[in-house]
């Protein structure tokens, strides 16, 4: 059974459990169970090595209580609920428990990084299940997933999209799944190298980080030196941050699933991790590559704004993330950032200051304009990918408008954005040339602008954009008259076509 195909069955089982109230709790339940299964699979892989000691103590590993060798050893019903609530969770959180003989012990006192990861994860998790039989059915279904199947591990991000859609139906929308076509394209053109520290400070499920990992794995396979050491360095140099518990836990699980033994994902608000001025000249706080899609449309908290100088303070979270990225990018570092149109043409004080800082301190070499339906069904906001590096100040910037493929009125669930659709940009990227807009005389689909032209335009980056149809706002009486005229015209067309059809059939128009 595939990961994504399993979600609906799991939710159907949990609907019979009176302890689990609503979609959000069902999804939270799925996540901690998946994490423990994935972590145990990782432990079993480690045990194939010499001198590797499992992190989680015997009796509390997935293989021991969830999927024992013999079916007769499975606990269920009230016994399972009691074990999960009073032993499994306290132990994996590093808390003391009372043994049958009355002694107080801490079975999980391992001080390794991986042990700390488990404790942090389980501290943010909760068992909502009250029906032990339903919980056993859920556990057994999760146990059927074959994590050694490469195809199933690759679809983990697709499973997260399924989870997001479920959250949307529960009224908890607001998170956007970044299509793999976008994450792969961004990583490919930022081109991280072995030894680079790669970061996503609003990483969600970890899509950008996993694609960076895939990109670097190909390099390791052709590496002339010690490939084991190179791969360890790659794993160590992937870092992220996530503010919301569910995507944070999914990201950790996703990276474990992709053989990263200790995912370096920080739970918390990346905007307030440090004050903006703390990054200045602090190489250890900076990174070589940043690939991310910051949250936008949200209102920044007072704490977020206080972390930035007065001129960079914005109420829009995407603006603050952009400012933070400028501080956290190391000299000669490279970045690809997905931002909404509002950043490009906004001219309020903070946006303008951030764009001037970007132009002054970085080489903003490329902006890819994306269609409005790229993030459907989550939002119709038009977005862009900004590519820049910290090598020199901006001298010129190329703009390229990515038009939807032929036959696509808009992207959707049935006609999603695919990696192959981005190949047209890849071809242009390596052989840049100006492209006139085929539909608008004097406009451009791709064009290069000097920094002087950008400055003269008031740092309005709304260039090579999509044609906007002007909507005429009529007075009410004229609007009604216009609607009546359109309806009369449509009625005439219908009557004419109906008469022609009836004439061909040899029947009267009024015949039924």
Mean pLDDT calculated for residue range 419-435: 95
pLDDT above 50 (res 471)? no
Higher pLDDT, 146 or 252: 252
pLDDT above 90 (res 51)? no
pLDDT above 50 (res 355)? yes
pLDDT above 60 (res 264)? yes
Q: What was the pLDDT predicted at 512?
A: 43
DSSP per residue, 461-502: ---S----PPPP---HHHHHHHHHHHHHHHHHHHHHHHHHHH
Using DSSP's 3-state secondary structure scheme, residue 353 falls into helix
69-102 in b/e form (b: 16+ CB < 10 A) is: eeeeeebeeeebbebbeebbbbbbbbeeeeeeee
pLDDT above 50 (res 109)? yes
pLDDT above 90 (res 327)? yes
Reported confidence tier of residue 159, pLDDT bands at 50, 70, 90 = low
The predicted-structure confidence for 357-374, as pLDDT tens digits, reads as follows 999 999 999 999 999 888
Tokens representing 419 are 């990696």
Query: What gap in Å lies between CA 294 and CA 381, rounded to an integer?
Result: 14
Query: What gap in Å lies between CA 449 and CA 438, rounded to an integer?
Result: 19
Listed in sequence order, the residues at least 6 apart from 59 whose beta carbon sits closer than 8 Å to its beta carbon are 65, 107
Query: What gap in Å lies between CA 250 and CA 34, rounded to an integer?
Result: 9
Query: What gap in Å lies between CA 426 and CA 447, rounded to an integer?
Result: 16
Reported confidence tier of residue 144, pLDDT bands at 50, 70, 90 = confident
Query: What gap in Å lies between CA 447 and CA 366, rounded to an integer?
Result: 10
Residue among 316, 174, 179 at smallest CA distance from 244: 174
Query: What gap in Å lies between CA 197 and CA 208, rounded to an integer?
Result: 13
Reported confidence tier of residue 432, pLDDT bands at 50, 70, 90 = very high
Residue with tokens 């030894």: 195
Q: What was the pLDDT predicted at 502?
A: 81
Q: Which CATH number fits domain 3-155: 3.90.1150.10, 3.90.580.10, 3.40.50.300, 1.20.1260.30?
A: 1.20.1260.30
Tokens representing 321 are 């993330």
Residue among 243, 239, 298 at smallest CA distance from 268: 243
Locate the domains of the chain by residue range. 3-155, 179-456, 471-512
Reported confidence tier of residue 467, pLDDT bands at 50, 70, 90 = confident
Chain centroid to Cα 143, Å, comes to 26
pLDDT above 50 (res 172)? no
Q: What was the pLDDT predicted at 384?
A: 96
The 3-state secondary structure of 68-103, one letter per residue: CCCHHHCCCHHHHHHHHHHHHHHHHCCCCEECCCCC
Tokens representing 329 are 């990018």
Cβ pair 132, 80 in contact under 8 A: yes
Query: What gap in Å lies between CA 223 and CA 216, rounded to an integer?
Result: 10
pLDDT above 90 (res 263)? yes
Q: What was the pLDDT predicted at 152?
A: 60
Q: What was the pLDDT predicted at 170?
A: 45
Query: What gap in Å lies between CA 132 and CA 135, rounded to an integer?
Result: 5
The 3-state secondary structure of 59-72, one letter per residue: CCCHHHHCCCCCHH
Count other C-beta atoms under 10 Å from residue 507's C-beta: 11
Chain centroid to Cα 120, Å, comes to 21
Query: What gap in Å lies between CA 61 and CA 88, rounded to an integer?
Result: 9
pLDDT above 70 (res 3)? no
Q: State the CATH architecture for 179-456.
A: 3-Layer(aba) Sandwich (3.40)
Residue among 161, 135, 194, 146 at smallest CA distance from 17: 135
pLDDT above 80 (res 82)? yes
Give burial (CB, 10 Å; 0-12/13-18/19+) of 355: buried
Peptide bond into 377 cis (omega under 30): yes
Listed in sequence order, the residues at least 6 apart from 283 whose beta carbon sits closer than 8 Å to its beta carbon are 330
Higher pLDDT, 169 or 391: 391
Query: What gap in Å lies between CA 354 and CA 373, rounded to an integer?
Result: 27
Query: What gap in Å lies between CA 438 and CA 164, rounded to an integer?
Result: 38
Chain centroid to Cα 100, Å, comes to 45
Largest Cα span, the chain: 96
């Amino acid at each position: 059974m595939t990961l994504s195909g399993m979600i609906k069955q799991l939710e159907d089982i949990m609907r019979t459990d009176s302890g689990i109230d609503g979609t959000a709790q069902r999804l939270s339940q799925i996540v901690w169970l998946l994490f423990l299964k994935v972590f145990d699979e990782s432990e079993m892989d480690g045990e194939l090595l010499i001198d590797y000691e499992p992190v989680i103590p015997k009796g509390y590993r997935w293989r021991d209580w969830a999927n024992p060798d013999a079916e007769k050893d499975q606990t269920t019903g009230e016994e399972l609920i009691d074990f999960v609530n009073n032993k499994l969770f306290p132990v994996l959180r590093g808390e003391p428990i009372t043994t049958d003989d009355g002694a107080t012990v801490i079975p999980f006192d391992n001080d390794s990084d991986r042990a700390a990861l488990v404790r942090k994860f389980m501290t943010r998790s909760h068992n909502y299940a009250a029906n032990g039989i339903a919980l056993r059915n859920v556990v057994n279904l999760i146990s059927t997933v074959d994590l050694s199947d490469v195809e199933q591990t690759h679809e983990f991000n697709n499973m997260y999209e399924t989870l997001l859609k479920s959250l949307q139906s529960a009224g908890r929308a607001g998170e956007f799944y970044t299509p793999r076509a976008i994450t792969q394209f961004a990583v490919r053109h930022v081109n991280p190298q072995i030894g680079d520290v790669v970061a996503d400070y609003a990483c969600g499920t970890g899509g950008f980080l996993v694609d960076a990992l895939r990109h670097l794995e190909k390099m390791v396979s052709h590496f002339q030196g010690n490939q084991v050491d190179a791969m360890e360095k790659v794993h160590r140099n992937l870092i992220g941050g996530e503010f919301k518990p569910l995507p944070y836990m999914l990201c950790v699980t996703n990276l474990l699933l992709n053989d990263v033994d200790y995912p370096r994902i920080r739970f918390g608000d990346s905007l307030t991790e440090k004050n903006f001025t703390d990054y200045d000249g602090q190489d250890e706080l900076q990174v070589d590559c940043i690939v991310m899609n910051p949250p936008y449309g949200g209102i920044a908290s007072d704490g977020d704004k206080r972390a930035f100088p007065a001129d960079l303070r914005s109420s829009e979270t995407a603006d603050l993330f952009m400012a933070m990225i400028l501080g956290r990018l190391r000299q000669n570092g490279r970045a690809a950032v997905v931002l909404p149109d509002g950043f490009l043409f906004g001219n309020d004080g903070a946006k303008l200051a951030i764009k001037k800082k970007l132009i002054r301190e970085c080489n903003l070499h490329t902006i890819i304009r994306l269609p409005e339906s790229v993030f459907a069904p989550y939002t119709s906001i038009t977005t862009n990918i900004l590519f820049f590096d910290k090598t020199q100040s901006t001298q010129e910037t190329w703009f390229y408008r990515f038009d939807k493929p032929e036959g696509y009125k808009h992207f959707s669930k049935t006609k999603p954005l695919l990696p192959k659709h981005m190949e047209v940009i890849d071809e242009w990227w390596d052989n840049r040339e100006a492209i006139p807009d085929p539909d608008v005389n004097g406009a451009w689909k791709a064009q290069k602008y000097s920094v002087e032209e950008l400055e003269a335009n008031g740092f309005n980056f709304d260039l090579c954009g999509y044609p906007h149809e002007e909507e005429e706002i009529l007075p009410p009486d004229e609007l009604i008259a216009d609607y009546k005229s359109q309806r009369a015209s449509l009625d005439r067309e219908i009557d004419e076509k109906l008469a022609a059809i009836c004439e061909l059939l040899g029947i009267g128009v009024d015949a039924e």
